[in-house]
Every structure is written in C-alpha cells, then in structure tokens.
C-alpha cells in the first residue's frame, strides 16, 4: 500500500517525519488535515511515523536525559476526491510495530494533537521542547503553542477584529453587551464552535448566562460584537510559513450562526480579497518569528476572528473544492 500520488517539491531521501496525533484509528481520513499532511510527506519521499502525546518520554538512564518516543511507522493509501466525495481504500493505512526511539531521530516533528490544551498537552510541549533544543524542528514551536491561546492570540491585532472584551466579570460583560447589542460569547478553551453562544444586551436572564459561562465569574470568556455578515460565511485561511496558500469559506447551516464544519457549516470554494491578503501580510512576520509554521486564521467580513495554531484544519476542503494541492505545497516549503 502506498500513496502514489505525485507531489511537488524536492525529496529529501527517506528522512523520517514524526506526527504527534490522536490515535490514528480515530482520525477521519477524508476530513483530517493531519492525514493530508502525512500523505504529502510520504509523496515527498519521507518516512511517516506516528505517536500520541502519551508516547513521549525522557530516558532517565541517560546522563543527558534524552527525550524519546514510542512510535510506529505507517504507510498510507492514496485517498482521492471523487464526484461522490472521496475514494477511500479499506484499510487506508498500515502500521508497523511500536518501538522506542530518540526524538532526535526525527529531523521534523509535527505536533498535531487536537485540543483541549490540557495538562497532558502542555507537558507534551515541554518534552518536545527538549528535542527542539537538540536540533529537532517542531511544528509548531512548543513554546508558541503554550503562549498562543487561539482566541487571545488574535488580540495582538485587535485593530483588525470586531470590538472584543475578555473578562470574567459579569458586570463588565453585560455592559459590553448593552453597548454593542448583539454579541457572541466564546469560551477561551473551546474549539470547533463548541460552547459559543449568541446573545444581546436586552436578553432576559443575561446575567445568569454570564455567570454560567464564566463558572460564577471565575473563568474569563471573550465577548465580541456579532457580525451579521457571518451568514455569508467565515473564511478559514491556511498560512504556511506566513504565506496564505489556500482558503475555504464556511457558510452556517440554516438557523445556525456558527459556521464551523463540525457543527454543520457548509464548505465552499473562495478567493482571498485584497483586505484578507493585507491581514495575512500583517500577521506573517510575527508568525514566522514565533515558529508558527502552519496556521489557520478565521476571517469574517474582513475582520480577524481567531488564529488557530494547535492543529488547524481545512486542508481537505481547500484541496477538493479549490483544486489547490495545499498539503504538497506545505511539504515543499518545509523541505526546501
């Protein structure tokens, strides 16, 4: 079995690439961007290995405390878009035996574990950082994964965003809602639209809702002015080393304001506007400087919404709807 599709880019022998992911059996190969990236690495002549965050360790018997990993090699089948969706072989991957190896055996390691960014996730970034100090390139940089909350990180460019407030104080949040009318409440640790609530300043029970989402005013949340243009879609733009290589528009389902694909949003092909390219250009130098190689930003009506750095999705949709070989282009830039 092999993914024999032709990818662009220079090949780098049979170097191994390690992907730190959720258990591979749980991935949805026709949706998951990690699978698309693994296939592209394989097409570029790389050996693909996988592990979970729980497979990372430090070898205590070594005086240098070398970081190690229990990983397994995988071979992926070709998964191609078709008129009816995707041609998915069964099985779509074959895995070799698990074995302990030094993390330094992998020149490049992808940290693609899905949120939540909990204790296990944070400890994994610390272990990966030990490998980074020994010369391994970790994508995205472990320190930046810890520092960049996907909601709060965007506030570095608050002038590009809809009016926003982050607070755990219900009075402050209610005042913002009274000032702006329609608002959206976002838990800072949420993903894929989970827990996002729309309300307005005059809503009955607003105070009770704010106490609920802040865990009785103990956890901060983000509240933003609602952008009615979200009905036309929320654009996911994928940046690789700061360069926008593809985008997909996500239109909310009927009766829904959230456009995330996980909650029923409908993907559609799109082009970038000049305003959106300007947003990407403004973000690019900081993303490069902080080692955020593969990033997905969300833009609604020309306003920056979020900066996704943990395991951004959208590759499959960009490739199938836009005809852009995004995963292969990503590997080209990585291996250049």
Q: What is the pLDDT of residues 105-116, one digit of tens each?
A: 999 999 999 988
Whether the predicted pLDDT of 62 surpasses 70: no
**Residue 302 zone, left/alpha/beta (φ > 0; ψ -120 to 50; rest):** left
Q: How far apart are CA 278 and CA 234, in angstroms?
A: 17
User: Looking at 43, 108, 113, 186, which residue is catalytic?
Assistant: 186
* pLDDT for residue 192: 64
User: Both tokens of residue 144?
Assistant: 């930046």
Buried-exposed string 156-166: b where 16+ CB fall within 10 A, e elsewhere: eeeebbbebbb
User: Looking at 132, 150, 290, 306, which residue is catalytic?
Assistant: 306
User: Looking at 112, 141, 235, 258, which residue is catalytic?
Assistant: 258
User: Looking at 141, 151, 191, 316, which residue is catalytic?
Assistant: 151
Backbone CA torsion sign across 331, 246, 227, 257: negative
- Residue 308 known to be catalytic: yes
Q: Which residue has the tokens 């955020």?
A: 292
- Residue 186 known to be catalytic: yes
- Residue 234 known to be catalytic: no
Percent of the chain scoring above 90 in pLDDT = 76
User: Looking at 140, 149, 249, 308, which residue is catalytic?
Assistant: 308
* pLDDT for residue 218: 95
User: Looking at 3, 150, 298, 328, which residue is catalytic?
Assistant: 298
- Residue 156 known to be catalytic: no
- Is the pLDDT higher at 77 or at 252? 77
Q: How far apart are CA 155 and CA 320, in angstroms?
A: 32
* pLDDT for residue 2: 53
| Mean pLDDT, range 125-137, rounded to an integer | 96
User: Looking at 108, 112, 236, 316, which residue is catalytic?
Assistant: 236
- Tens digits of residue pLDDT in 265-286: 788 999 999 999 999 999 999 9
- Residue 43 known to be catalytic: no
Is residue 335 within 8 A of residue 12, CB to CB? The reply is yes
* Nearest alpha-carbon partner for 190 in 305, 50, 304: 305
Backbone CA torsion sign across 13, 18, 21, 27: positive
Task: Indicate the pTM of the whole model.
Answer: 0.91
Is residue 54 within 8 A of residue 63, CB to CB? The reply is no
Whether the predicted pLDDT of 226 surpasses 60: yes
Is residue 329 within 8 A of residue 8, CB to CB? The reply is yes
* Nearest alpha-carbon partner for 107 in 22, 43, 65, 47: 47
Whether the predicted pLDDT of 8 surpasses 70: no
User: Looking at 43, 250, 303, 316, which residue is catalytic?
Assistant: 250
Is residue 145 within 8 A of residue 127, CB to CB? The reply is no
- Tens digits of residue pLDDT in 20-48: 999 999 999 999 999 999 999 999 999 99
- Residue 140 known to be catalytic: no
- Residue 260 known to be catalytic: no
- Residue 236 known to be catalytic: yes
């Amino acid at each position: 079995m092999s993914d024999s599709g032709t990818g662009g880019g220079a090949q780098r022998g049979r170097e191994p690439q390690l992907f730190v992911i959720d258990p591979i059996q749980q991935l949805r190969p026709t949706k998951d961007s990690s699978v698309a990236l693994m296939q592209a690495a394989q097409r570029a002549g790389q050996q693909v290995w996988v592990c979970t965050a729980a497979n990372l360790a430090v070898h205590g018997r070594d005086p240098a405390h070398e970081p190690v990993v229990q990983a397994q090699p995988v071979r992926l089948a070709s998964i191609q878009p078709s008129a009816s969706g995707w041609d998915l072989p069964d099985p779509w991957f074959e895995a070799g035996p698990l074995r302990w190896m030094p993390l330094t055996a992998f020149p490049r390691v992808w940290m693609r574990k899905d949120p939540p960014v909990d204790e296990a996730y944070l400890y994994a970034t610390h272990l990966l950082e030990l490998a980074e100090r020994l010369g391994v390139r970790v994508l995205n940089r472990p320190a930046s994964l810890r520092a960049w909350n996907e909601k709060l990180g965007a506030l570095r460019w608050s002038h590009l965003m809809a009016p926003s407030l982050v607070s755990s104080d219900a009075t402050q949040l209610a005042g913002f809602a009274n000032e702006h009318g329609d608002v959206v409440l976002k838990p800072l640790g949420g993903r894929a639209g989970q827990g996002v609530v729309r309300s307005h300043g005059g809503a009955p029970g607003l105070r009770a809702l704010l106490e609920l989402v802040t865990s009785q005013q103990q956890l901060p949340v983000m509240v933003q002015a609602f952008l009615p243009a979200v009905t036309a879609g929320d654009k996911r733009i994928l940046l690789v080393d700061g360069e926008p290589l593809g985008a997909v528009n996500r239109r909310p389902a009927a009766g829904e304001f959230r456009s995330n694909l996980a909650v029923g949003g409908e993907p559609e092909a799109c082009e970038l506007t000049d305003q959106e390219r300007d947003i990407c250009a403004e973000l690019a130098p900081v993303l490069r400087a902080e080692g955020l190689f593969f990033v997905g930003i969300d833009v609604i009506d020309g306003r920056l919404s979020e900066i996704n750095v943990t395991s951004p999705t959208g590759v499959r949709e960009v490739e199938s709807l836009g005809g852009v070989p995004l995963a292969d282009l990503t590997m080209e830039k990585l291996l250049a």
